[in-house]
């Protein structure tokens, strides 16, 4: 059991690093989708008392959403907007990777320092989750396209989902499903807005959305 969980978490960390270094939007979408699929297995594995229908439902729902629905939404947005397939970063790929490695070390350090009141399913759970959250946040601030920011948001959500696995037993199913529904609608609405941004401005570079910026007081 534990080996499977660890492999998934290592896969998560590796895909984060790929996301930081990849220059193709299509690739980035694919890897975020793979993350979502792999994470769908976690709730079933993380439960200590074998298979629980609550965990199976949660995992299947999340895998379906993040593995299939989101990528098809994003690919559609990409096609419709005819966006340049490059990611166009503010921070270069190499420096992004270097920052990523630094943050990874930091995540492991802080993960080791936080002593959970109980044994988590895997020692890697907290560091991998933290690292994914930071990667998502970094993608949101350091990439230019609106669509990459949506990807960053999904990656961040993946990280939070991983951290939530520490306490699978305490979160009621209804709330988890509510969270999933909210995220689904959020990404859906974001997709629509990306589409409108493209029609209104002929680009989806969010850094050029600066008409409302305030001067110094």
Given 52, 60, 98, 160, the residue binding other proteins (CB under 8 A): 160
Find tokens 């959970």 and name the residue: 116
Residue from 56, 64, 97, 171 that binds other proteins (CB under 8 A)?
171
A 10 A CB-CB count for 121 gives 19
| Cβ-contact 57, 173 below 8 angstroms | yes
Do 91 and 141 meet the contact criterion of CB atoms below 8 Å apart?
A: no
* Of residues 80-119, those binding other proteins (CB under 8 A): 116-119
Question: In this chain, which stretch among 23-31, 85-93, 96-104, 156-164 interacts with other proteins, using CB under 8 A?
Answer: 156-164
Q: Of the two residues 7 and 129, which places its CB atom closer to other proteins in the complex? A: 129
Task: Verify binding: residue 49, other proteins, rule CB under 8 A.
Answer: no
Decide if 32 contacts 147 (C-beta within 8 A). no
Q: Give whichever of 98 and 106 is closer to other proteins, judged by the CB atom.
A: 106
Select from 52, 163, 203, 205 the one that contacts other proteins (CB under 8 A): 163
- Residue (of 156, 125, 105, 165) closest to 9 by Cα position: 125
* 149, 151, 155, 205: residue in contact with other proteins (rule CB under 8 A): 149
Q: Which of 125, 89, 87 is nearest to 10 (CA)?
A: 125
* Among 175, 203, 205, 207, contact with other proteins (rule: CB under 8 A): 175
Residue 14: count other Cβ atoms within 10 Å of its Cβ: 12
User: Among 4-12, 23-31, 101-109, 185-193, which window interacts with other proteins (CB under 8 A)?
Assistant: 185-193
**Cβ 56 to other proteins shortest distance, Å:** 20
User: Distance between CA atoms of 204 and 39, rounded to whole angstroms?
Assistant: 29
Number of residues that bind other proteins (CB under 8 A): 42
Separation in Å, CA 155 to CA 13, 47, 97 = 11, 23, 16
Q: How far is the CB of 156 from other proteins (least distance, A)?
A: 6
Secondary structure E strands in 64-217:
none
How many Cα atoms occupy the beta-carbon half-sphere of 109 within 13 Å? 6
Q: Is residue 189 at the binding interface for other proteins, with CB under 8 A as the rule?
A: yes
Q: Which residues bind other proteins (CB under 8 A)?
A: 116-119, 133, 137, 140, 146, 149, 153, 156-157, 160, 163-164, 166-167, 169-172, 175, 178-179, 181-182, 185-186, 189-190, 193, 196-197, 200-201, 206, 209-212, 214, 217
């Amino acid at each position: 059991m534990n080996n499977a969980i660890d492999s998934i978490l290592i896969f998560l960390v590796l895909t984060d690093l790929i996301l930081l270094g990849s220059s193709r939007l299509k690739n980035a979408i694919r890897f975020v989708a793979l993350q979502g699929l792999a994470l769908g297995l976690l709730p079933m594995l993380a439960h200590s008392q074998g298979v629980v229908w609550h965990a199976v439902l949660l995992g299947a729902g999340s895998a379906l959403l993040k593995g299939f629905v989101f990528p098809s939404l994003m690919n559609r947005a990409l096609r419709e907007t005819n966006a340049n397939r490059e990611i166009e970063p503010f921070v270069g790929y190499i420096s992004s990777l270097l920052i990523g490695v630094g943050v990874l070390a930091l995540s492991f350090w802080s993960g080791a320092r936080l002593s959970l009141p109980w044994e988590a399913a895997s020692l890697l759970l907290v560091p991998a989750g933290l690292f994914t959250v930071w990667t998502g946040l970094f993608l949101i601030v350091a990439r230019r396209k609106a669509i990459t920011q949506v990807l960053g948001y999904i990656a961040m959500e993946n990280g939070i989902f991983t951290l939530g696995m520490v306490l699978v037993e305490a979160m009621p199913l209804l709330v988890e499903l509510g969270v999933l529904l909210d995220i689904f609608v959020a990404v859906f609405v974001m997709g629509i807005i990306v589409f409108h941004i493209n029609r209104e401005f002929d680009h989806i570079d969010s850094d050029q959305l600066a008409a409302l910026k305030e001067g110094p007081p």
